[in-house]
């Protein structure tokens, strides 16, 4: 999967490619779907959510320019797979998930796999984690109409945030770099489709309009 679906599509970061070879994706998918774990597509997980397509995980991690000492926030931990990959290339990762059952099982997986630099918490990630900020990088694995201000303000100067931005059906993967205290530069990385980012600075629970 890594050679054919990820490296061949342009992901070059050697440490990231090694991380994707190392993290056992079959441990992050529901029973009965393990045989599909190394196909390059999203899969359903509990609570009506998805584990992201491996290529998209790789593209987001590469865009976020993670280094061995990086302090990283992931919003939308889901199964915990992307957080586990991040944990292989960063110094410390905190991942937030709004569904309790997902947060608990992702947490158990980190413990079972010995990924002790990855901390999974339950909560509304649109507010970030002020007590852990600032972050070198923030990855948001769910789509919102705009980048939550609370999140971009938890970046270090020079920090990067990668997030799908747009309507409920299709979004643009955006990279925001905090170039100065009050200056943020944004670039588009292409079209993607993610589940909605639901929370105080995202979509409301019923999904009809942005909060
Ligand atoms: N990174 C995940 C993985 O590797 O399995 C994929 C996550 S899935 C595409 C997006 C996740 O974002 C869902 O589990 C959803 O519940 C979560 N989510 C949506 N809004 C959220 C919020 N405000 N705070 C935390 N998690 C949120």
Q: What is the pLDDT of residues 115-126, one digit of tens each?
A: 999 999 999 999
Nearest Cα to 158, choosing from 137, 132, 174?
A: 137
**pLDDT (average), residues 63-88:** 98
Q: Backbone dihedral region of 31: left (phi > 0), alpha (psi from -120 to 50 degrees) or beta?
A: beta
pLDDT at 207: 54
pLDDT at 43: 97
- Spans of all domains in the chain: 2-192
Atom of ligand 1 nearest to the CA of 78: 14
Task: For a ligand 1 pocket test, name from 118, 141, 206 the mutation site with the most ligand atoms within 8 angstroms of its C-beta.
Answer: 141
pLDDT at 4: 85
- 178 touches ligand 1 (CB under 6 Å): no
Establish whether 52 is a catalytic residue.
Answer: yes
- 85 touches ligand 1 (CB under 6 Å): no
Q: What integer best gives the mean pLDDT of the chain?
A: 95
Q: If 0-12 CB within 10 Å is exposed, 13-18 middle and 19+ buried, where does residue 207 land?
A: exposed
Q: If 0-12 CB within 10 Å is exposed, 13-18 middle and 19+ buried, where does residue 71 land?
A: middle
Nearest Cα to 148, choosing from 78, 198, 113, 114?
A: 198
Q: Specify whether the CB–CB gap between 188 and 166 falls below 8 A.
A: no
- 97 touches ligand 1 (CB under 6 Å): yes
Please state which of the ranges 2-16, 62-76, 138-152 shows the lowest mean pLDDT.
Answer: 2-16
**pLDDT (average), residues 105-113:** 98
Q: Specify whether the CB–CB gap between 122 and 96 falls below 8 A.
A: yes
Give dist(CA 20, CA 88) in Å, integer.
9
Nearest Cα to 135, choosing from 157, 107, 115, 119?
A: 157
**CATH number of this structure's domain 2-192, picked from the four choices 3.40.50.2000, 3.40.50.300, 2.30.140.10, 3.40.50.150:** 3.40.50.150
- 78 touches ligand 1 (CB under 6 Å): yes
């Amino acid at each position: 999967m890594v050679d054919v679906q990820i490296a061949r599509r342009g992901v070059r970061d050697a440490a990231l490619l090694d991380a994707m070879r190392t993290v056992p994706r079959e441990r992050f998918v529901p029973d009965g779907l393990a045989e599909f774990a190394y196909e390059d597509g999203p899969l359903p997980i509990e609570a009506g959510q998805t584990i992201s397509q491996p290529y998209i995980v790789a593209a987001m991690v590469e865009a976020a320019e993670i280094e061995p000492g990086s302090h990283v926030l992931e919003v939308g931990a889901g199964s915990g797979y992307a957080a586990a990959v991040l944990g292989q290339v960063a110094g410390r990762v905190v991942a937030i998930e709004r569904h309790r059952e997902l947060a608990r099982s992702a947490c158990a997986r980190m413990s079972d796999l010995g990924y002790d630099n990855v901390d999974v918490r339950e909560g509304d990630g649109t507010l970030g984690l002020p007590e852990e900020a600032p972050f070198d990088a923030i990855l948001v694995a769910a789509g919102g109409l705009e980048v939550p201000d609370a999140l971009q303000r938890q970046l270090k100067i020079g920090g990067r945030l990668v997030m799908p931005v747009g309507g409920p059906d299709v979004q643009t993967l955006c990279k925001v770099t905090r170039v100065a205290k009050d200056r943020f530069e944004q670039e588009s990385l292409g079209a993607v489709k993610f589940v909605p980012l639901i929370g105080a600075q995202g979509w409301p629970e019923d999904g009809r309009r942005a909060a």
